[in-house]
Amino acid sequence: MQEFDLFVIGAGSGGVRCARIAAQNGARVAIAERRHWGGTCVNLGCVPKKLMVYAADYGREIADAPAYGWDVKPVAHDWRTLIEAKDREITRLNGIYVSMLRKAGISLFTGNARFVDANTIEIGPSLLAPDEPVIRVKAKRIVVAPGSTPVRLDIPGAEHAIVSDDAFHLAARPERVAIIGSGYIGVEFAGIFAGLGSKVDLVYRSDLPLRGFDQEVRSHLAELLPLHGIAVHPSRTPERIEKETDGYRLHLEGGDVIETDCVFMATGRRPNIDGLGLDRAGVRTKDGRIPVSAEEPATNVPNIYAIGDVTDTYNLTPTAIAEGHLLAERLYAPQGRDWSFGTTPKAVFFSSPVATVGLTEEEAAEQHALDIYTSSFTPMRQTLSGRKGKAFLKLVVDADSQIVLGAHMIGPDAPEIIQGLAIAVTTRLTKRDFDRTIGLHPTSAEEFVTMRTRTRHIPRHSDSKR
């Protein structure tokens, strides 16, 4: 039986980085993948999603171009061309992942991996390699990095709905799409389908989209959604889906019905732990996840670790990568490196994107008295075209220390802008530091260093509750 220092289950964002850094530091490493090299982000997540966001953006740019003097002939979008071009790019990236892992001297196993015991892994056939024989290998340490999978609501007719995995390979673009859920995926795909010309209905159970984001940003997004051609159905719960000869009927509690060609459930993800044999290795789970901390991704079994979406920490690619990198270095080449997981920036790649770093006003007000600075304006790009929808920027500042605790934005280029500001929030710069910074004109980003007048002061919630 082959023996390794480290065996990684899952070649996604976290697993690939962990394997590569461990191998570079002298460990004998193996990795197993059952579906697609590079994992969710590369194959069914960040990368194909962003390519489709670009496709939708082009439509809006073409529509606005005549206001800038372009004589635009009638244009049409071809879904097949987009999907085929996107698939070629993904295949290219798959190849890069495989050759990068091989070059690092890592043994690659194509198949479905599961625990036999805390030091033995069995790899069996999978969709990616149906004819592979079952083999067993031994490893001193094992990293569980199997990622997650979309969740379907348990309602009658759920089998008629698609999830994000399907959305990347539809044979044709649906003319009408009803999306359930207003988290990252619901909002992003609402922007994609509306931008490509579909009639989009967005159904969500809360009063505002994007639960967990700053309340004012959520309100601003709720105002923008209809301006981007999306019909919103807040505070509504789906009841059942019926198949008709010419599409589907999505019934909502309370009696309303949405007629559509496609029901898309964007209702969260759950870790891929079924069939992993975690019990045979003695690994404890809680609510379907493996509990760890991002800084120290140890499970309750001393030689077994867990990173990425399978854990109860963050569910983003850069955090999965950082967790994998940190773990490999801790095990094979301690460097004392740390990452500021607490100030992980987040973006929702809507057609007017949302990006954020640090605390929301609601989170910060629990601990601090606050000075809030906001700005709302029509981006210059939209002036000639008359396109509707304002950008919104917000700084959440600790009133005592003047440290900027959070920066939030919705509007063009927000993710690119907030990535830069994430350094300022991570290094705990003050509002005075922002004010000392000269703006870069004319940009939307300069508003972050020119907001001189406080919008409001908020006393600490814990004080006002006394």
Ligand X SMILES: Cc1cc2nc3c(=O)[nH]c(=O)nc-3n(C[C@H](O)[C@H](O)[C@H](O)COP(=O)(O)OP(=O)(O)OC[C@H]3O[C@@H](n4cnc5c(N)ncnc54)[C@H](O)[C@@H]3O)c2cc1C
Ligand Y SMILES: NC(=O)c1ccc[n+]([C@@H]2O[C@H](COP(=O)([O-])OP(=O)(O)OC[C@H]3O[C@@H](n4cnc5c(N)ncnc54)[C@H](O)[C@@H]3O)[C@@H](O)[C@H]2O)c1
Annotation: binding site for FAD = 50, 309
Nearer to ligand X, 39 or 247 (CB): 39
Q: Which of 185, 221, 322, 425 binds ligand X (CB under 6 A)?
A: 185
Residues within the interface to ligand Y (CB under 6 A): 153, 181-186, 188, 204-206, 211, 237, 266-269, 315-316, 347-349
Candidates 7-15, 51-59, 206-214, 333-341: pick the segment binding ligand X (CB under 6 A). Answer: 7-15
Shortest CB 38 distance to ligand X, Å: 7
Q: Please give the structure tokens belonging to residue 208.
A: 């505002």
- Residue 198 or 267: the one with the smaller Cβ distance to ligand Y is 267
User: Which span (38-46, 67-75, 229-237, 242-250) binds ligand X, by CB under 6 A?
Assistant: 38-46
Q: In angstroms, what is the minimal distance from the CB of 18 to ligand Y? A: 19
Residue entry with tokens 């999603």: 49
Asked if 409 and 355 touch (Cβ cutoff 8 Å), the reply is yes
Return the number of the residue (21 or 316) whose C-beta is nearest ligand Y: 316
Query: Is residue 344 close enough to count as binding ligand X by CB under 6 A?
Result: no
Please give the single-letter amino acid code of residue 59. Answer: G
Q: Which CB, 267 or 444, lies closer to ligand X?
A: 267
| Residue 317 near ligand X by CB under 6 A | yes
Q: How far is the CB of 319 from ligand Y (least distance, A)?
A: 9
Q: Which residue is nearest to ligand Y (CB)?
A: 183
Distances (CA, A) of 170 to 55, 173, 351: 15, 7, 21
Among 6, 7, 15, 364, binds ligand X (CB under 6 A): 15
Segment 418-423 long-range contacts (CB within 8 Å, at least 24 positions apart)? 418/345, 418/347, 418/355, 418/356, 418/357, 419/345, 419/355, 420/445, 421/357, 421/448, 422/343, 422/345, 422/357
Q: C-beta of 439: minimal distance to ligand X in Å?
A: 28
Q: How far is CA 181 from CA 153, 163, 200, in A?
A: 10, 11, 13
> Quick one: what does residue 182 bind among ligand X, ligand Y, none, with the CB cut-off 5 to 8 Å set by partner type?
ligand Y
Please say which residue, 238 or 308, places its beta carbon nearer to ligand X. 308
Site string for ligand X, 281-310 (x = CB under 6 A): ---------------------------xx-
- To the query of whether residue 325 is one of the catalytic residues in this protein, the response is no
* Residue placing its CB nearer to ligand X in the complex, 39 or 238: 39
CB-based contact 262:248 (threshold 8 Å): yes
Smallest gap, in angstroms, from Cβ of residue 266 to ligand Y?
A: 5
Active-site position among 233, 441, 457, 461: 441
Q: Which residues are annotated as a binding site for NAD(+)?
A: 181-188, 268
Binding interface with ligand X (CB under 6 A):
9-15, 32-36, 39-41, 44-46, 49, 112-114, 145-147, 164, 185, 272, 276, 308-309, 315-318, 320, 349
- Report, as residue numbers or ranges, the catalytic residues: 441
